[in-house]
Amino acid sequence: MKHLQFIDEYGSFSIKQPENTSYLYFPLASETGLKSSLTPNLGGDSKTDQETFLLEPVSAENLHNNRSVRNFWLVCEKEGIFSATGASAKQEAVKFTALQDQSKITAGFMWHTLERFSSALSLETRITSFIPVNDNVEIMHITVRNQSDSTKDLIPYAAIPIYGRSADNIRDHRNVTSMLHRIRTDSNGVFVRPTMSFDERGHRPNTKIYYVCGCSGSGQAPESFYPTVEDFLGEGGTYTHPRAVCENYSGVPAGTTAAGKEAMGAFRFPRIRLAPGKEAEYILLLGVEGTHEGIARIYEKYNSPDKVRKSLEITKSWWKEKVNTGFHTGDADFDRLMKWICFQPFLRRLFGCSFLPHHDYGRGGRGWRDLWQDCLSLLLMDPNGVGQMIEKNFGGVRIDGTNATIIGDGDGNFIADRNGISRVWMDHALWPQMTTKLYIDQTGDIDILNRQAPYFKDAQSDRGTQIDTLWDAGQGNLLRTEDNNIYTGTILEHLLIQQLTAFYEVGGHNIYRLRGADWNDALDMASEHGESVAFTFAYTGNLRELASMIRLLESRSPVKETKLTEELRILLNDDPELFENTADKINLLASYTQSCRHRVSGRRFSVPLSELAENLEHKADWLTGYLKDHEWIDGGADEGWFNSYYDNHGRAVEGFFPNEVRMILTGQVFAIMGNVASEQQIRKIVNSADHYLYQKEIGGYRLNTDFHELKFDMGRMFGFAYGEKENGAVFSHMTVMYANALYRRGFAKEGWKALKTLAETALDFDTSRIYPGIPEYFRSDGRGMYHYLTGAASWFMMTMITQVFGVRGEAGDLILAPRLMAEQFDDQGKASVSLVFAGKKLDVIYENPDRKDSGAYKVSSSFCEGQKLQTDKLGRAVLPRRMLDTLSGGRHRIIVKLN
C-alpha cells in the first residue's frame, strides 16, 4: 500500500505515521494575512509578516527538533502522560518501535487533521487545524476519546509558546526582546503585548497583542495558567518533559500579570471523567490582533464546537471553489495532484516567496517575475480584475526599460531602491509581455495596448549603470516631463521600450548581456562580460509576438497608428548593418537612456502600426539568423543543442569540454519557445537533453550537467553541490517551460514526457517525501525541495490547460486544440477539463473512442450545448466570443469528438 493516499477528488489525502518522514510541512493561511506551517507533530511557525511572528520562526533544519510548538497534553492519573501531538519525551523514545503511537494526517486545502492513538493509554485524539478565510486566527479543534473499557480521569493542558515579535530577533537580541513582553492571563487564555518593536534603526511603540486562548467543548474556561516558559517547564524542564505537566502543579489564576520573560500560552483545564467510548472536545485559538476587543470578537466567534465546525466547512468550500479548475484523465492520482498544483498559485500569493520552512529568505515581498507569473494562473482561474492589475503593474517599468524591484503591498505599489546602484535582471522585461499576451488571448481585450500607464522613477538611471543626481525622493516615484507634468504612455509604449532597450544592450558576442542575472538568479557573477544567449532566444520570440499583437490591434481598431514618446524614435532603427555592430548598438542605447535620464520631453510622434510590427519582425528575423549561425553546438548525427551563456571571460559555457559535456536546459527551452530552433534542431535538442540531462527517477530533466568547476566567472550556482537548486537539480519551473515550449512547437509526446516525469516523482512519496504538489526542485536523491511556493505551479497549470488540453483563448475566441496522448484518456476514451473562460463555467470533454495518440487524431466534430462548432483551417474547434457571450447561468458542456 502506498504511504500517501488521496481520499477525494479535490486532492484531500491521508498519510500514516507522517512523523517518520523528515522535513514534512503543510501550509495554512487566511486571506487577511495569517500564515502558518504545520509539521506532523504540529511544529512549524505562524506569522502575519516579517515583524509579526506569533510562533518562533523556523527553517527546514529546525524541523527535526521542532517539538516546542503546539502541544496538547493529557495527564492520565494511572497510566501517565500523553501528548496529542506526539511531542513528549516518552513518545519520542518509542518512535520506530512496536510501541509507537499510531498516527495519521488527513489534509485538504487549508485544513489539517492529526489523529493519534496510544495503545498504552487506549486514548484516541484528533486535532483539526485551520485558519478561517477572513480572520487572523489559527484554530485547533481537539477531540479526546476514551477507547478503553474503563472510565478515565484526565487533566488536559494546552501548551503553546508565544514568540510575539519580529523574525529578525531570532538571533538579534532574542533575550533582550523578551524583556519587552508584558503578559496577562485572561479568563480564557494568555495575552502578550510587547512594549515596542525592537529595531536599532528606530524602535517603535507596539500595539499588537499575541494570544493563545481556549475553552472546552462545553464552554469551560481553563482553571490555571502558566504564562511564562519558566512557569510551565519548571527548573530544568523541557518542552517534551515539562514539569507543570509531569508533576501536575498549579499555575496562576486568571487576571495575573508577568513581564520581561519568554511568554507561554499554557493553561490547564479542569479534570474530566471520560466513560468508555466517550469524547471530550477542546478549542484553542492562537492569533494576533490590534486590540483586546478584537480578541474578544474572535473568541466569541469560535468558542464552541458547532461554531468551529461551521467555520471549517466554510473554509473548505471557499478554497475548493477558488480552485475552480479540474482535470479528468486516465490517471485519477494525476488529476488530484493537479488540484494541488492549481492551489499553489494562491499559496504563493499569500506567502510570497518567504514564510515556509525552506523559504527562510526574503521579508515576505514578491519579486517582479513572481508578480507577473502569479497573474498567469489568475487569468486562468479568477480573471476578474486581472486587466487592471496588469495595467497597474506596468507602472513599475522605468523609461530605460528596467523596472522597480521592490514591490509594496497592493497592486502597482513600487518602492525606490535606496541602496546606490542596484542589480538589473536581464529577463525582467520578458514576463510582462508574456502575461499581457495571455490576457489578450483569453479576453480579446487588445485595447489594453492603448491604455495609459505612468513610468516608475527613482535615482536609478541608464539601465542601472548611473544615478540620476537631479532626482530626489521629494519628486515622487513617477516620471515627469520637462514641464513637470506626470508622463504617461500607452502599455504598448511600455512594451516597446522594454523589448527594444534589451535589443541594444549587447556584450562582446552581440548577444544580450547577462547583467545581474537572468531567470536563473544564481548566475550572479558575470555582470561585466556575461551574456545570456538563453534569454536572447526568449526576447527574439517576444519581438515576434509583440509584432503580432500590434497587427491584431491594427486589424481591430479604426486608428492605424500609435503615438510614442519622441525619445523612443532612435530605438526604431531598422538598419541591418547596425544590428551587426556591437559598439554602435551600445552607443545608440546610451543616447536613448541619456535623453530620458531625468525627464522626458513630453513630445510624441506618430507611427503606423504596420510599420512598427514590421520593424520588430526585422529585428526578430535578424536575431534568429544570427543565433542559428553562432550558437549551435553540433553533437553528431542525431544530437546538438544551443549554447546558453557566455561567462565573465567571454567564453561559451556549453559544449564538449576535456572532462565532461556541458549542457544547460535554459537555452534549449527558449530557442524552442522563441521559434528560433528549427524542427530538425528540436529533434536533436530532445535527443541531447535525453542523453545528458534526463534522469527518470528524480523528476526528469535536470537544469544542467555537472561542470565539475566552481566557475567564479559565472555565478553562485556552481558553488552549490551538484544536484541542488540551480546547479543541476530537476528545477520544476524550467522543466515545465521546456514542456510548454515543446507543446507549442507540436512536440506533444516529448512535452508530455517532461510533465509526466515531474508528476510521477512528486506523487511517488517514497522518493519525493512531500505532500501532493509540485516542489521548486527535486534534488539528486529525488526529494522534493522548497515545496509549494514556486512559479512552476502557474506554468504547469497553464501548460496543462492551454497546451495539453489545448483549451485557450485566441484574441478572445475559445480554441480547442488537444494534444493529449492516448494514455491520458480514460477507459472510455474520454478526457475533460473544467474551467472558467470568459466568465462562463465550461466542461470541455474530449472523446477519443479509439484512444489514438496526439497527431493520429483530428477534431471530427464539436458541440457547445448541442450547437455545432466550426473547425478552422488548422483543424481546431472554435467557439467564437459572441457565442460564448450568449451562454447564461450554470455550467456548459462542450463536447469535442476526435477521430
Residues forming contacts to ligand G1P in the complex (CB under 6 A) are 353, 367, 369-370, 519-522, 726, 733, 776, 790-792
- Looking at the DSSP assignment, which residues form a beta bridge with residue 604? 565
We find the least distance from the C-beta atom of residue 535 to ligand G1P, in angstroms, to be 11
Phi/psi region, residue 397 (left: phi>0; alpha: psi -120 to 50; beta: rest), is beta
Question: Of 713 and 726, which has the nearer Cβ to ligand G1P?
Answer: 726
Question: Of 284 and 353, which has the nearer Cβ to ligand G1P?
Answer: 353
We find the least distance from the C-beta atom of residue 407 to ligand G1P, in angstroms, to be 12
How many Å apart are CA 518 and CA 664, to the nearest integer? 14
We find the least distance from the C-beta atom of residue 791 to ligand G1P, in angstroms, to be 3
- Quickly tell me which residue has 466554510 as its cell: 314
DSSP string covering 326-351: EEE-S-HHHHHHHHHHHHHHHHHHHH
Question: Of 183 and 517, which has the nearer Cβ to ligand G1P?
Answer: 517
How many Å apart are CA 76 and CA 688, to the nearest integer? 64
**Half-sphere exposure in the Cβ direction for 241 (13 Å, CA):** 9
Contact 283, 214 (CB under 8 A): yes
CA distances from 897 to 325, 799, 857 (A): 21, 22, 10
Question: Of 359 and 684, which has the nearer Cβ to ligand G1P?
Answer: 359
- Quickly tell me which residue has 517525501 as its cell: 769
Q: Which grid coordinates belong to 115?
A: 489523529
Question: Of 632 and 788, which has the nearer Cβ to ligand G1P?
Answer: 788
We find the least distance from the C-beta atom of residue 366 to ligand G1P, in angstroms, to be 9
Question: Of 632 and 778, which has the nearer Cβ to ligand G1P?
Answer: 778
DSSP string covering 487-538: PEEEHHHHHHHHHHHHHH-B-TTSSBB-BTBSSSTT--S-TTT-EEHHHHHH
We find the least distance from the C-beta atom of residue 523 to ligand G1P, in angstroms, to be 8
We find the least distance from the C-beta atom of residue 378 to ligand G1P, in angstroms, to be 16
We find the least distance from the C-beta atom of residue 796 to ligand G1P, in angstroms, to be 11
How many Å apart are CA 84 and CA 91, to the nearest integer? 10
How many Å apart are CA 146 and CA 117, to the nearest integer? 10
Question: Of 426 and 589, which has the nearer Cβ to ligand G1P?
Answer: 426
- Quickly tell me which residue has 544590428 as its cell: 579
Question: Of 365 and 367, which has the nearer Cβ to ligand G1P?
Answer: 367
We find the least distance from the C-beta atom of residue 696 to ligand G1P, in angstroms, to be 21
- Looking at the DSSP assignment, which residues form a beta bridge with residue 46? 36, 55
We find the least distance from the C-beta atom of residue 345 to ligand G1P, in angstroms, to be 11
CA distances from 89 to 83, 105, 238, 240 (A): 9, 21, 9, 5
Question: Of 579 and 777, which has the nearer Cβ to ligand G1P?
Answer: 777
Q: What angle do CA 8, 696, 334 make, to 5 degrees?
A: 15
Question: Of 519 and 857, which has the nearer Cβ to ligand G1P?
Answer: 519
Residues 611-650, buried b or exposed e (16+ Cβ, 10 A)?
A: ebbebbbbbbebbbebbeeebbbebeeebbbbbbbbbbee
Question: Of 367 and 507, which has the nearer Cβ to ligand G1P?
Answer: 367
Question: Of 162 and 800, which has the nearer Cβ to ligand G1P?
Answer: 800
Structure letter (DSSP) for residue 296: H
We find the least distance from the C-beta atom of residue 725 to ligand G1P, in angstroms, to be 8
DSSP string covering 200-263: TT--EE---EEEEEEEETT-PPPSEEEEEHHHHH-TT-BTTB-HHHHTT---B-TT-EEESS-E
102-108 vs 80-83, strand pairing mode: unpaired
We find the least distance from the C-beta atom of residue 774 to ligand G1P, in angstroms, to be 9
How many Å apart are CA 535 and CA 506, to the nearest integer? 12
How many Å apart are CA 34 and CA 241, to the nearest integer? 30
By beta-carbon distance, which residue lies closest to ligand G1P?
791
We find the least distance from the C-beta atom of residue 784 to ligand G1P, in angstroms, to be 12
How many Å apart are CA 189 and CA 204, to the nearest integer? 26
Give every CB contact of residue 529 below 8 A, 6+ residues apart in sequence. Answer: 507, 508, 646, 647, 648, 649, 650
Question: Of 18 and 699, which has the nearer Cβ to ligand G1P?
Answer: 699
Q: How far is CA 341 from the centre of its chain?
A: 10
Question: Of 412 and 791, which has the nearer Cβ to ligand G1P?
Answer: 791
* H or E segment to which residue 138 belongs: strand 137-146
We find the least distance from the C-beta atom of residue 188 to ligand G1P, in angstroms, to be 41
We find the least distance from the C-beta atom of residue 565 to ligand G1P, in angstroms, to be 30
Question: Of 280 and 397, which has the nearer Cβ to ligand G1P?
Answer: 397
CA distances from 317 to 111, 230, 326, 534 (A): 11, 42, 15, 43
CA distances from 599 to 400, 477, 521, 743 (A): 11, 12, 31, 44
Q: Which grid coordinates belong to 829?
A: 476514451
We find the least distance from the C-beta atom of residue 713 to ligand G1P, in angstroms, to be 19
We find the least distance from the C-beta atom of residue 532 to ligand G1P, in angstroms, to be 13
- Is 542 in a helix, a strand, or coil? helix
Phi first, then psi, for residue 432 (nearest 5°) are -55, -40
Question: Of 505 and 521, which has the nearer Cβ to ligand G1P?
Answer: 521
CB atoms within 10 A of CB 850: 11
Contact 568, 499 (CB under 8 A): no
Q: Which grid coordinates belong to 69?
A: 510548538
Question: Of 369 and 851, which has the nearer Cβ to ligand G1P?
Answer: 369
Question: Of 217 and 773, which has the nearer Cβ to ligand G1P?
Answer: 773
We find the least distance from the C-beta atom of residue 88 to ligand G1P, in angstroms, to be 36
We find the least distance from the C-beta atom of residue 518 to ligand G1P, in angstroms, to be 8
